[in-house]
Structure 1
Amino acid sequence: MDLFSRSWTALRTAVGELSGEDWERPSGCAGWLVRDLVCHLVIDAQDVLITLVTPADAEPSADAVTYWKLVEPPTGDDPLDALIPRLAAAYGDPSLLKFHFDDVGSAAGRAAGLADPDLRVGTQDMVLTAGDYLSAYVMEWTLHHLDLTAHLPSASGPPAETLAAARASLEKIAGASFPASFSDTDALLIGTGRRAPASADVAALGELAGRLPLVLG
């Protein structure tokens, strides 16, 4: 839960530093501008708030790793994915989107800080402890922080400890380790298909190369 707070605070800070043309630059999510990604993060923050007030009585059916499922790469046909750019554009002035993100994002951060880590919560037909649910979101925040800064070279990236935690989670999902020569950022970008591996990377990956990208859903 501490890593949730660190990753979310760092991402919110990076969004708060956006200005001018930053909002219209491409993000690391194919087809989405930075403004579209931030709009998606508003929905993510709402999901956190909803889940933390959705208690469940059943035994946990997932943890911080099994929360994530490997899915087929997106085709662009998903209705929600198509809706995001329209929602983002509807804000008009990016300052309104920034305000909404800060408002909902701050609330999600406070709710996470107040949550009992042993509380069982329900989401997406799964039951997890709040601690595991929030730990799963370290992956979400870290990957989207990399997406946010993909074309903003002067922007601050994710904290080192959350990069390491996200890499460890991705390796558990993959059931294999990325080469030690890969930085945590490289492992996450190449592992999830955000960056195409160079020929040397493919050689270092060995059999794992044939299983990439690992698309999480």
Structure 2
Amino acid sequence: MRAPERGALPLQLAATLGRTYGRVTETVQGLSDADFDRPTRCEGMPVGPLLVHLLYDAERALMAFASPATAVPDRDFVTYWLDSPPGTEGDDQFVRTVASAYRKPAALVQHWRELSEAAVRAATAGLVDKGRRVETQGHVLRATDFVATLVLEATVHHLDLIVELPNALEPDPEGLQVAARTLDGLFGPEAWDVIGWDTTTYVLKATGRLPLDEDDRDMLGPHADRLPLLG
């Protein structure tokens, strides 16, 4: 069995980002204070610190759209992640410290809501110009490619957030497709064409959130050792 067909990136990527961020907001806004200390799939990073990590990603989006670039893009939505190999995020202690500085988790949620909604508005305006380029983390990307990286980050971390949150919302389906399309690009057709996982399982296993079992390794053959593709 082969993985489901995945086409090009969505035409309305800003709307995809809005739904992706919106589902994170819906997930965290009803949590109890104790829930923010629940573990996630990111080792050493409970729900609260992981939301801070996402908050800084939304802030980075605002900075990028305020920093238009004229240089030729040197990364796209796939190759952007080549600079982020598994296990290199390295900001666990920082985000834990920031999360603890919020007087109440509700204040963190409000800050996340305001920043994420502003980032979506910036993306909506920024994508009007089809040729727009932005600079972020030392690279230049087309605005569409940049927004796709934001969608992947939020989608994967949404899956991280909800592992110990019963009845939580699943990520936006189109956001999952963007994440899978990105992983396809990193993995290459020779590898992903043999995958029989559903899309969510693909994202979780290709990013190391779920371990590979014996059947997975039989399915992937020599490609199994290339996982995880992202941390």
TM-score when normalising by structure 2: 0.85
SS of residue paired to 1:29:
coil
Q: Does 1:196 pair with 2:186?
A: no
Q: What corresponds to 1:114 in structure 2?
A: 125
User: What's the TM-score, normalizing by structure 1?
Assistant: 0.90
Asked if structure 2 preserves the Cα contact closer than 8 Å seen for 1:178 and 1:187, the reply is: no
* Counterpart residue number, 1:160: 173
The amino acid that maps onto 1:141 is: A
Amino acid at match of 2:220: L
Q: Which residue of structure 2 lines up, in the alignment, with residue 103 of structure 1? A: 114
Cα distance in 2 between the residues matched to 1:192 and 1:113: 28
**Percent of pairs identical after alignment?**
36
Residue 162 (structure 2) aligns with: 149
Number of the residue aligned with 1:42: 55
CA distance in 2, matches of 1:94, 1:178: 43
Q: AA paired with 2:125?
A: L
| Counterpart secondary structure, 1:141 | helix
- Match of 1:69, SS state, is helix
Residue pair 2:205, 2:212 contacting (<8 A) in 1 also: yes
- Report the 3-state secondary structure (helix = DSSP H, G, I; strand = E; otherwise coil) of the residue aligned with 2:73: coil
State how many pairs are aligned. 214
CA deviation after TM superposition for structure 1 residue 19, in Å: 2.7
Q: Is the alpha carbon distance of 1:113 and 1:18 closer, same or farther for their aligned partners in structure 2, counting shifts above 3 Å?
A: farther
2:4 maps to what in 1? none
Give yes or no for contact 1:178–1:205 (8 Å, CA) kept in 2: no
State the Cα distance separating 1:196 from its structure 2 match. Answer: 0.8
Whole-angstrom CA distance in 1 between matches of 2:85 and 2:177: 25
**Cα deviations across residues 138-188 of structure 1 (Å, max 9, x unaligned)?**
211110110111111310111222212211210111213164420111111
- Show CA shifts across 1:70-124 (max 9, x none): 6443278x3x332111111111311111111111111111111221342111112
1:1-217 equivalences in 2 (<5 Å): 1=13, 2-69=15-82, 71-74=84-87, 78=90, 80-115=91-126, 116=128, 117-175=130-188, 176-177=191-192, 179-215=194-230
Over 3 Å counting, the alpha-carbon distance change for 1:136 and 1:83 in structure 2 is: same
Q: 1:187 to 1:107 in 2, by over 3 A?
A: same
Q: Is the 8 A contact 2:195 2:219 kept in 1?
A: no
Contact 2:33 2:104 in 1 (8 A): no
> RMSD of the alignment, in Å?
1.9
> Alpha carbons of 1:66 and 1:89: their partners in 2 closer, same or farther (altered >3 Å)?
same
Q: Which stretch of structure 1 is more off in the superposition, 137-146 or 112-121?
A: 112-121
Structure 1 gaps, min length 5:
none
Contact 1:5 1:113 in 2 (8 A): no
The answer to whether the 8 Å contact 1:70/1:214 transfers is no
Q: What CA deviation, in whole Å up to 9, does each residue of 1:177-205 have, x standing for no partner?
A: 16442011111111111111122122112
